[in-house]
Structure formats: structure tokens, C-alpha cells
Amino acid sequence: MNTDLDIIFENLSFAYHSRPILEDVNLQIQKGEFASIVGPNGGGKTTLLKLILGLIKPDQGKIQVFGKSPEKAREKIGYMPQYAHLDMAFPATVLDIVLMGRLARKKLWFSKQDRSLAHTAIDEVDMAAYIHTGFSELSGGQKQRVLIARALCSNPSILLLDEPTANVDQETEENLFSILKKLNMDMTILLVSHDLGFVSKYVKSVICVNRRVVIHPTTLMDGALIKDIYHGDLKMVRHDHRCSEGGHSCD
């Protein structure tokens, strides 16, 4: 077993109501990777995350996380769902939400240690000033940071983020990525991006998902490749201005 690989997909296929979502996926994620998962809507991005989490099972092939089944590896995976799926009016403070990351089968109540870990995680996403603020009173970007803190609170080795840049402005997005860059020193990060063709300068690889899955180092990304991934549907490709900055060579 190659210990440098966090996640391995082998000949994996998944269909939903006999409609193929992912086909013949072979993918290896290195430890310390910082990858953006891109692709058209319904192309299978969220499905890929849910397979890694073991929330759904592949129809064919297999997936291993840290050399184990996803269910067994789950404890070391931090997950940030799309916050739009959550109840925005739910009565809870930032601390209440982040403490969910300390939920465990074996204990009923949170210990002092759980609380101090939650405080640390909240510090890491720069939300310490809001610790007792109601979740519903926060802006979209702040909610996302709280959900990242919740994922961090479980002390993960892999961080999975589903659309962390949805509905946030440019500045919030910059802040988010500088936090993620810092976290990437300790953990593997995979994030789903709704922005087709958009890649942050901190991202090391791009995983393109459209029924088939291909991973590219960002240095090799170019317009032709993106065009190929989206079957030439260039209307959907938006090149963010940062796309040409840093690690890209758009020749």
C-alpha cells in the first residue's frame, strides 16, 4: 500500500435510477493534495464527494480512503456541505454548530476538551468574535467559515468542501482561500467548485468530472483542455481573472 495516497478510486461506476453518473473512474489523490473538482451541473461532482464519504455505494469498482473503506475512514474526513441545504433559521450559536464536529458514538455530552477544540477551530477560520452569535445572523461567507470550522473540529486528515465559494463575494472568497491554503499544510483538501473553468491560484490540481473523471495539475490547464472536458460548450466556461495568474500556463 502506497501510504502517500489518501484516496484511491478503482474502475468505479455509479448510476442513479439506472442513469449513469460516473463511469469507470480511476483516480488517485495524493496526501497533501489541494484539488478543485469542476464540471457541469449534474456531472457527478457531489456524487464523487458522497462516494468518498461512504454516503452512497459504488455500483462497480471500489474506493479506498487511507487504505480502508470510506465508512471506516470517515472519522478522519472533515466535510463541509453546501450551506444552502441547511435550515437558516435554526436556533444555534456558532459554538453550537462547530461542536457538532465533536459528536461521537461513544459519548453523550461534550467535554471540556471538545469545547477547547471547537474554540481552536473557530479561531482558525477567524470567527472568534462571533462565537456566541446566532448562526442565522451571519453572512453567507461567515456561515461557510463556521461549517469549515465544524469540519476542522473533528481533527480531519482530509477536508472535503462542497461549493465553498457559492454565493460569496470576491473578497470573502480570497479570505477563504488563504485560510484553506494554511490548512493545506496539514491536510489534503478537495473542494467542489460551481465556477466552471475557475481555479484559485492556491489549487494544485483540477479534477474534471463529467461522467468520466480526469485529474490535471493546474500547470497543465489550458483552454483546449477545458473545452474538451465540457464537450466544447464554451458558454459555460468562464475564465476568472485569476486563472491566468500564478501556476497556470495558458499557451
Partner 1 sequence: MITGAAKEAIPVIEFFNALADPDNLFLQYAVIMGGLASISFGIIGTFVTTKRIGYLAGAISHSVFGGIGFALYLQVKIGLAWVDPIMGAIFAAVLSALIVGLVSIYAKEREDTIIGTLWAVGMAAGILFIDRTPGYFNLSSYLFGDILLISFKDLVYVICLDILVLGISILFFNRFFGVCFDSEYTSLRGIHTGFFYLFLLVLTALTVVLLVRIVGIVLVIALLTIPPAIASFYARRLWQMMVYSILLCTFFTWAGLGISYSYSLSSGPTIIILSGAAYLVLLVIHKLIK
Is 79 a binding residue for partner 1 by CB under 8 A? The answer is yes
Min dist. Cβ of residue 126 to partner 1 (A):
21
By the 10 Å C-beta count (0-12 exposed, 13-18 middle, 19+ buried), 215 is classed as middle
Return the number of other C-beta atoms located less than 10 Å from residue 245's C-beta: 11
Query: C-beta of 117: minimal distance to partner 1 in Å?
Result: 14
**Phi, psi at 174, each rounded to 5°:** -60, -50
The C-alpha atoms of residue 171 and residue 154 are separated, in whole angstroms, by 27
* Nearest CB to partner 1, comparing residues 75 and 228: 75
Judged by CB, which is closer to partner 1: 5, or 100?
A: 100
Q: What is the DSSP letter of 244?
A: G
Q: Which is nearer to partner 1, 134 or 223 (CB)?
A: 134
- Binding span for partner 1 by CB under 8 A among 8-16, 59-67, 83-91, 194-202: 83-91
Rounded least distance, CB 83 to partner 1, Å: 10
Binding status of residue 203 toward partner 1 by CB under 8 A: no
Joined together, the cell numbers standing for residue 96 give: 453550537
Q: How far is the CB of 58 from partner 1 (least distance, A)?
A: 18
Question: How distant, in Å, are the alpha carbons of 3, 26, 186, 209 from that of 65?
Answer: 11, 14, 17, 19
- The DSSP letter of residue 179 is H
Number of residues that bind partner 1 (CB under 8 A): 28
Give, as ranges, the residues between 93 and 152 that touch partner 1 (CB under 8 A): 93, 96-97, 99-101, 103-105, 108-110, 134, 150
Phi (first) and psi of residue 122, to 5 degrees: -65, -40
Name the one range near partner 1 by CB under 8 A: 36-44, 92-100, 167-175, 228-236. 92-100
Task: Please give the order of strands across the beta sheet that includes 5-16.
Answer: 19-30, 5-16, 60-65
Interface residues for partner 1 in 16-75 (CB under 8 A)? 53, 55, 74-75
Alpha helices by DSSP H, listed for the chain, are 45-53, 70-73, 94-99, 112-124, 140-153, 170-183, 223-229
Q: Please, which residues have CB within 8 angstroms of residue 77's CB and are 6 or more apart in sequence?
A: 52, 53, 65, 70, 156, 157, 158, 159, 160
Cell for 139?
A: 453572512
Minimum separation from the CB atom of position 39 to partner 1 (A): 22
Of the pair 134, 140, the CB lying nearest partner 1 is at 134
CB of 89 or CB of 185, closer to partner 1:
89
Q: How far is the CB of 105 from partner 1 (least distance, A)?
A: 4
Q: Which amino acid is at 86?
A: L
User: Minimum distance from CB of 4 to partner 1 (Å)?
Assistant: 25
Binding site for partner 1 (CB under 8 A): 53, 55, 74-75, 77, 79, 81, 86-87, 89-93, 96-97, 99-101, 103-105, 108-110, 134, 150, 154
